[in-house]
Amino acid sequence: MLRDLGEPLAELVGRRVLLDGEVVALRPDGSQDFHALTGRRPTSRLVFMCFDLLHIDGCDLLRERYADGRRALERLNLRQGRWLTTPALQGEAGAALYAFTLKARGRGLLPSVWIRPTGRPVATAPG
């Protein structure tokens, strides 16, 4: 499956990075198609969807503020081909989505939510 992602982007070549993400199958409209991961539907394309940058070139970002790590991730420019970065909601929008998700207990809209070691919740927009 990883072979289907092709060569790493030029931004990653020669660098030591640890990315947090998952391989997903995207339909032509951009929505995810979970079942295409096993059936390899020709209408879906496999991509690596990156949520977070955990380590880069000897620098451990896990103990850093989420906003700092997110800026470092966005500087990698994973927005093309089969290497993508999820949109992120920060500030009031992120807090509102996180609160909604807790209240809904996973029913309906369920974004990826992860708590960094600093204790700050991080919400990423659903893909």
Q: Side chain identity at 69, as an amino acid letter?
A: G
Q: How many residues are there in the chain?
A: 127
Alpha carbon distance 20, 27 (integer Å)? 22
Is-contact 109 101, C-beta < 8 A? yes
Q: Which run of H or E residues covers position 95?
A: helix 91-104
Q: What is the pLDDT of residues 27-51, one digit of tens each?
A: 888 888 888 877 766 777 888 889 8
Most confident listed range (20-24, 36-40, 57-61, 104-108): 57-61
CATH class of 2-124: alpha beta
The residue behind tokens 């996973």 is 106
- φ, ψ at 124 (rounded to 5°): -115, 145
The two beta strands, 83-85 and 45-56, are parallel
Distances (CA, A) of 34 to 22, 31, 49, 75, 78: 12, 10, 13, 28, 21
Predicted TM-score (pTM) of the model is 0.67
Specify the DSSP class assigned to residue 67.
H
Q: Give every CB contact of residue 46 below 8 A, 6+ residues apart in sequence.
A: 1, 4, 5, 23, 24, 25, 26, 37, 82
Q: What is the pLDDT of residues 89-118, one digit of tens each?
A: 777 887 887 787 777 765 444 444 444 545
Q: Which of 88, 69, 81 is nearest to 17 (CA)?
A: 69
Residue spans per domain, the chain: 2-124
